[in-house]
Amino acid sequence: METKSLLNVAKEYGSPVYVYDSQKIISQYKRLTSAFDKVKRLKVNYAVKALSNLSILKLMKSLGAGLDTVSVQEVKLGLAAGFQAEQIIFTPNGVSLEEIEEVAALGAQINIDNLSILEQFGTKHPNIPVCVRINPHVMAGGNTNISVGHIDSKFGISIHQIPHILRIVENTGMKVNGIHMHTGSDILDIDVFLYASEILFETAKSFKDLEFIDFGSGFKVPYKEGDIETNIEELGEKLTERFNDFCEEYGKDLTLAFEPGKFLVSEAGNFLAKVNVVKQTTSTVFAQVDSGFNHLIRPMLYGSRHEIINISNPKGRERFYSVVGYICETDTFANNRRINEISEGDILAFKNSGAYCFTMSSNYNSRYRPAEVLIHEGKSHLIHKRETFDDILKNQVEVDIFKKPAKMGK
C-alpha cells in the first residue's frame, strides 16, 4: 500500500485507524488456491476470528471462500454477509452443548474437539454429520501461545483416543463426515506439517463416510524484510501428491480444506497512529502515540514484531526510538527500533496489522476503538465507524439506588 494513500486515509478519517488493502487479500487467496490447483476438490475456509468485518467477509465470499468460525456470533456474521450455512464450518473449543446445537440448527458444519460433547451430541442428534478435530501431538512453530497441536494443548481429541471416538460413533450411530487438525500458527518446517498430515491420513482410514479432510492452517507470513515464511508452493506440490494418492486409496475424491486467517489478511493491514509526544529520558527516546495495547495488543501479548514506518518522513535519517502508547501502564509496541526521524504529529504505520489486531481491540481506559477503512480499486471505503462516547455508555444500565448517602462502616 502506497505511503500517499495511507497518509490520505489518516487525513480523511483521523487516527488511530486500521487500513486494509483488498488487492493483497485477493493475491494471497489466489496464491494459495494456485498452489493446490491440482487437487480436484479444494475448499478454503477463511478464519473469521482473524478479521471479522462484514466487508472483509463479503470480499471472501466473492473469491469463493467458505468460513471457519469459532462462535455462534461468527456464524451469524457469516450468514449476515451472505454465506449459506453449508459454507460455514463451526470449530469451537470449550463451548456448551447448547451453543453447538444452536449452530447445528442454523445448518453449519459442526466440528467437535472433545469426547464428552461428541458423545452427548451424537446421542441427541445422530443424524447430523459432524467433523472430528484431532490433536496430532505435533508442535508447529516455537511459541506455545500460538501452537495448538502439542500434547498439552486444550484443542482437539488426542490421536491416542481414536478407539474412544470409534466406540462413541458405533454406540450412537452418528456419522463422521470430516477429520480436522490445526497444529497452530507460524509453520516454519513443511516436513513437520507433512508429518502431522500423515497422522491425519492414518486416522481418516478409520472413518468410512468422510467427505473432507481439513488440514487447518497456520501458514507463516513475513513480518520484516528477509523474514522467513511458509513456502506455500512447495507445500502445495508435496501435499497435493500425497492427498491425491490417499483419495485413490480411500476409494473416493475427498475435499481438501484449509482455514487460513493470518495468511490471507495479515499483510493487507496497516495500523496508523499519530505521534502525540517525543519524550527524551536519560537513556531512551520515546515516541508516544495516540493508541495503545487497547487497539493493538499483539506486541504485548505475544511479543509479536510489527514493522513500524514513519510515513510522514519516510526518507529521514534513522534514529532509535521506543514506540509506546497512551495506556496508563506499560504499553510498548517496540523497544530501541531504528525508525526514520520522528516529530510530534507524524503518522506511524504498523505493518502486518490485518490479522488478530482490530478483532482483539478493547475499550480499556475507556478509549474508543478505532475506525476501519478498506482500500479497494484505488478508493478508500469506511467499513467501521470510529466509536464515540455514546458507544461507551450504550450498554450500561443506570440504577437509581444512590439517592441517599452511602453508610460508611466504623
Estimate the crossing angle of helix 162-172 against helix 115-124, to 10 degrees. Answer: 10
| Spatial distance between the Cα atoms of 63 and 48, rounded to a whole number of angstroms | 15
**Could you tell me which residues are beta bridge partners of residue 285?**
280
* Partners of 374 in beta bridges: 20, 381
Burial of 356 (0-12, 13-18, 19+ CB in 10 A): buried
Provide φ and ψ at 121, rounded to 5°. -65, -45
Q: How far apart are the C-alpha atoms of 196 and 27, rounded to whole Å?
A: 27
Active site residue 357: no
CB 87 within 8 A of CB 107: no
Write out the DSSP string of 3-49.
Answer: HHHHHHHHHHH-SSEEEEEHHHHHHHHHHHHHHTTTSSSEEEEEEGG
The three three-digit cell numbers of residue 410, written as one number: 466504623
- Strands 17-21 and 269-280: what pairing? antiparallel
131, 247, 328, 357: the catalytic one is 328
User: ∠ CA 274-278-283 to the nearest 5 degrees?
Assistant: 140
Instruction: Give CA–CA dist 306/267, Å, rounded.
Output: 10
Catalytic (active-site) positions: 328
